[in-house]
Amino acid sequence: MVKNGLVTTTAMERERLDIGIAGGQIVRLEPDIEAGGAPAVDAGGKDVFPGFVDPHTHMELPVSGTVSSDDFYTGTLAAACGGITTIVDFAGAVRGQSLLEALSIWKERAAPKAVIDYGFHMIVPELDEAQIAEIPGLVQQGVTSVKSMMAYKRGPQGSGDGSLLRMIMAASECGALAMVHAENGDAIDVTVDRLLAEGKTEPRWHPRSRPAILEAEAVNRAATLAAMVDWPLYIVHLSSAAALEAVMTARDRGWTVLAETCPQYLTLTEQEYERDGFEAAKFVCSPPLRNEEDRRALWSGIESGRLQLVASDHCPFFYEPQKQAGRENFSRIPNGIPTIQAMFSLLFSQGVRSGRISCRRFVELSSTNAARIFGMYPGKGEIAVGSDADVVVYDPEREVRLTRRPAEPTLLREHVDYTPYEGMTVTGWPDTVISRGEVLVQEGEPVETPPAGRGRFVPRRSGTWELPAG
């Protein structure tokens, strides 16, 4: 039971209600529930939100000869300390590999380690007939979203327009959501080659190799293919004003195109790539950080409801030694940054505290919309009788300095040696985090070492994909 909290959901803002919990679920939601014998968490007048949902993570992801540094234990524990009670990670198949086999590999990785609940999307490569025939089998196993990579065409997972169209067709036949990493891979490959040939090998050339127009073009192309099939499309990690414009143009045509953005694009800009030496490598992710105008456009998309949710795209690599792989060639820097633990505090601090969005809108962006779109609602993403007792008691006043400098105290515990938000202070931090009725985190720290493998696989249904009115 959680007592004395101010509960916010998409239906109510800061209502003083107690939450009765039994068997891992919410069984009562009323003012002043008698505590009885049940141990109570006293929220002490702080905010109470549905457990956050991060629908875009890459735990222990193999990438060009290395692997992302958070595994399903360290990554989900850091997530829990950030108030997240459910993630949807990307399982991925390579060219010629069975999709169902890839899924079972990811399930074997996650099951013994995950601390919080988890689902999977499936990244599909350039598809062959056998793989296309497996897509309904993914849906039967609760993997109801499939992603094509329009970039990374030279890698084992990039795919062309034909494969993308066939993916959308197959998704439409079995009720799966079609997702894309929208960047024009062919144009990026040519640009990378040209920059390297000119001796431009430092990390600051990374953003110049993949400008925003190549993201906007890919959004438009993918949306056009989805419209041909008359099926919804979901854009992951949308990063630029131009790409958001392409989304809005598609919607004006009556096409259903949903989009997420990430905390890094709302917080940081391409200025980070101007740092001296190799330090810019800490910010190498794809799409790259954009300019101040883009950052503002994304915030306006968050405020207006044009962007559906905020996801982390958490994909950490140690600066020493992992990022060093690209010392002589920026295209060899493993792409990705650590961002999962502070993501929703960044959103709360810059969104709610600065008056840009309401608490209700914060709950939509951090929990409810992801649960709806990805077919987990109302088990996840809600505080209501019958929902899983995934609850965050959130201190809206706590100031936390984000740092990974050695010898400085920090709450950040992602398994990596830096944070891209070094030195920033956020206002608002999770206090108590409850997953299916179990307290995992108190005062922002794990209560004890939470058992690896307590997290459960969440089989997902088809989601709800309607766009906001207007």
What are the DSSP calls for 79-91, one per residue?
HHHTTEEEEEEEE
Taking the alpha carbons at both ends of the chain, their separation in whole angstroms is 39
Closer of 261 and 432 to Zn ion (Cβ): 261
Region near Zn ion per CB under 5 A, out of 5-13, 283-291, 308-316, 381-389: 308-316
Distances (CA, A) of 358 to 50, 347, 352, 444: 15, 11, 6, 23
Region near Zn ion per CB under 5 A, out of 141-149, 171-179, 309-317, 380-388: 309-317
Phi-psi region of 93 (alpha: psi -120 to 50; beta: other; left: phi over 0): beta
Shortest Cβ 71–Zn ion spacing (Å):
17
Closer of 344 and 394 to Zn ion (Cβ): 344
Closer of 215 and 313 to Zn ion (Cβ): 313
Site size for Zn ion, by CB under 5 A?
1
Shortest Cβ 147–Zn ion spacing (Å):
8
Closer of 183 and 272 to Zn ion (Cβ): 183
Q: Which residues of 377-398 are buried (b: 16+ CB within 10 A; e: fewer)?
A: bbbbbbbeeebbbbbbbbbbeb
Helices H / strands E in the chain, number of each: 12, 19
As given in the structure block, the two tokens for residue 358 are 């309401």
Kindly identify the residues of this chain, within the stretch 116-155, that bind Zn ion according to CB under 5 A: none
Report the SS3 class of residue 207.
helix
Residues in CB range of 14: below 8 A, 6 or more apart: 6, 7, 8, 47, 359
Residues in CB range of 190: below 8 A, 6 or more apart: none
Say if residue 287 is preceded by a cis peptide, omega within 30 of 0: yes
Closer of 20 and 55 to Zn ion (Cβ): 55
Distances (CA, A) of 28 to 20, 364, 381: 5, 22, 16
Closer of 57 and 163 to Zn ion (Cβ): 57
CA–CA dist 108, 77 (Å, integer) = 18
Shortest Cβ 61–Zn ion spacing (Å):
9
Shortest Cβ 87–Zn ion spacing (Å):
12
As a 3-state breakdown, the chain gives helix, strand, coil percent values, each rounded to 5, of 35, 25, 45
Q: What are phi and psi of 368, to 5 degrees?
A: -65, -45
Shortest Cβ 335–Zn ion spacing (Å):
9
Closer of 91 and 363 to Zn ion (Cβ): 91
Shortest Cβ 435–Zn ion spacing (Å):
24
What are the DSSP calls for 49-67, one per residue?
EEPEEEEEE-TT-EETTEE
Shortest Cβ 239–Zn ion spacing (Å):
12
Closer of 123 and 440 to Zn ion (Cβ): 123
Report the SS3 class of residue 407.
coil
Shortest Cβ 313–Zn ion spacing (Å):
4
| CA 90-284-417 angle, 5° bins | 85
As given in the structure block, the two tokens for residue 322 are 């992992």
Shortest Cβ 403–Zn ion spacing (Å):
25
- Using CB atoms, what's the residue nearest to Zn ion? 313
Shortest Cβ 62–Zn ion spacing (Å):
14
Give the pairing of strands 145-149 and 117-124. parallel
Closer of 56 and 204 to Zn ion (Cβ): 56
Region near Zn ion per CB under 5 A, out of 131-139, 152-160, 307-315, 432-440: 307-315
Closer of 265 and 394 to Zn ion (Cβ): 265
* Binding-residue pattern over the window 310 to 329 for Zn ion, x denoting contact by CB under 5 A: ---x----------------
Report the SS3 class of residue 149.
strand
Region near Zn ion per CB under 5 A, out of 255-263, 306-314, 370-378, 452-460: 306-314
Shortest Cβ 164–Zn ion spacing (Å):
17
Closer of 70 and 313 to Zn ion (Cβ): 313
As given in the structure block, the two tokens for residue 304 are 């207006």
Report the SS3 class of residue 367.
helix
The residues that touch Zn ion, with contacts defined as CB under 5 A, are 313
